[in-house]
């Protein structure tokens, strides 16, 4: 497949108000001349992004406030995005995690995670990919997964399971759509210095600047390059690629034990609630 050219074309990004999504929006506008459909829950941040990108780079920005945990929201976002415009790139980046004992994760927390990390990803992938096929294959999807999806990850157990789904779903979809000329890129970063690190409590163990924790800006550059060149799987960073390969080759039980030992140092000192 030829590389994607997003200059003057529309790219939709979920989770665009902060972290990796925000930096990808900035990079696509600045260096690729893309118009951005920015999707997130926080309207004030989306409006600030619109002012920033339109003022600095002369692109158009459509802010779409959405809560992807709500039933029907993925369909609504798709309809609003394609009204009067052709969307040629879609980055499904929105995601939530939970760090702690699996027995302590509230049901509503898991329901939110499943809706955001899995259900909305599947529905929006289907809707936008169908548009790409109808237009003769002019389009590219990117699903943001995680190296956590390559093996079981204690204390992020449900999060890792959702990202394992995204990796499997994205790579399977990539093969199904290849002959139609539609590309699907699965981007699987390791730790990124974003709000998720602090909001989840993971910053008790991992800090920005630690080995293996990438900046959002550096990660965004690798992600966008992978999408433009229509790679099926991209893992940023030498250490992350080594860990991803190790998780594939070594027994998952052994890797889960090592991960548990690492993550236990970041847990609250109180024992889990029975």
Q: pLDDT at residue 207 above 60? A: no
Is the pLDDT at 200 greater than 50, yes or no? no
Q: Which residues pair with 13 in a beta bridge?
A: 38, 91
Q: Provide the pLDDT for residue 268.
A: 63
Which pLDDT does position 15 carry in this prediction? 96
Q: What is the mean pLDDT of residues 181-210?
A: 67
Give the model's confidence band at 190: pLDDT under 50 very low, under 70 low, under 90 confident, else very high: confident
Predicted local confidence at residue 137, as pLDDT: 83
Q: List, in order of start, the domains of the chain with CATH numbers.
A: 10-266 (3.40.50.720)
Residue 244 has pLDDT above 80, yes or no: no
* Per-residue pLDDT reduced to its tens digit, 34-88: 999 999 999 999 999 999 999 999 999 999 999 999 999 999 999 999 999 999 9
Cβ–Cβ under 8 Å, residues 196 and 117: no
Beta bridge partners of 193: 215
CB 51 within 8 A of CB 103: no
Structural contact between residues 162 and 114, judged by C-beta atoms closer than 8 angstroms: yes
pLDDT at 269: 55
Is residue 257 pLDDT above 90, yes or no?
A: no
Is residue 181 over pLDDT 80?
yes
Answer for the pair 16, 41: CB distance below 8 angstroms, yes or no: no
* pLDDT band, very low/low/confident/very high, at 237 (cuts 50, 70, 90): confident
What average pLDDT score do residues 243-250 get?
Answer: 70
- Of the candidates 197, 187, 180, 260, the one whose C-alpha atom is nearest the C-alpha of residue 18 is 197
pLDDT, tens digit, 9 for 90 and up, residues 83-117: 999 999 999 999 999 989 999 999 999 999 999 99
Angle between helices 157-177 and 107-114 (to 10 degrees): 20
120-147 confidence digits (pLDDT tens): 999 999 999 999 999 988 899 999 999 9
- pLDDT of 258 reads 67
Closest to 20 (Cα-Cα) out of 237, 220, 233: 220
2-28 residue pLDDT tens: 999 999 999 999 999 999 999 999 999
């Amino acid at each position: 497949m030829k590389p994607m050219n997003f200059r003057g074309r529309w790219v939709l990004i979920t989770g665009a108000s902060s972290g990796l999504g925000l930096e990808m929006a900035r990079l696509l506008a600045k260096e690729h001349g893309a118009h951005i459909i920015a999707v997130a829950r926080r309207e004030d941040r989306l409006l600030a992004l619109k002012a920033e990108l339109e003022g600095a780079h002369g692109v158009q920005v459509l802010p779409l406030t959405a809560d992807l945990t709500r039933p029907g929201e993925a369909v609504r976002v798709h309809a609003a995005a394609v009204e009067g415009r052709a969307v040629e790139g879609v980055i499904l980046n929105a995601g939530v995690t939970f760090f702690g004992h699996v027995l302590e994760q509230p049901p509503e927390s898991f329901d939110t995670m499943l809706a955001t990390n899995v259900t909305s990803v599947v529905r929006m992938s289907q809707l936008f990919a169908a548009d790409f096929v109808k237009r003769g294959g002019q389009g590219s999807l990117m699903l943001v997964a995680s190296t956590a999806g390559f093996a079981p990850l204690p204390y992020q157990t449900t999060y890792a399971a959702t990202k394992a789904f995204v990796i499997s779903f994205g790579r399977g979809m990539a093969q199904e759509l290849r002959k139609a000329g539609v590309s699907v890129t699965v981007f699987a970063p390791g730790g990124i210095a974003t709000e998720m690190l602090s909001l989840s409590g993971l910053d008790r163990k991992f800090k920005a600047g630690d080995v293996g924790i990438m900046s959002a800006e550096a990660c965004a550059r690798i992600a966008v390059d992978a999408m433009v060149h229509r790679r099926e799987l991209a893992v940023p960073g030498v250490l992350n690629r080594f860990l991803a390969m190790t998780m594939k080759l070594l027994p998952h039980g052994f890797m889960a034990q090592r991960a548990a030992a690492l993550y236990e140092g970041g847990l609250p000192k109180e024992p889990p609630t029975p």
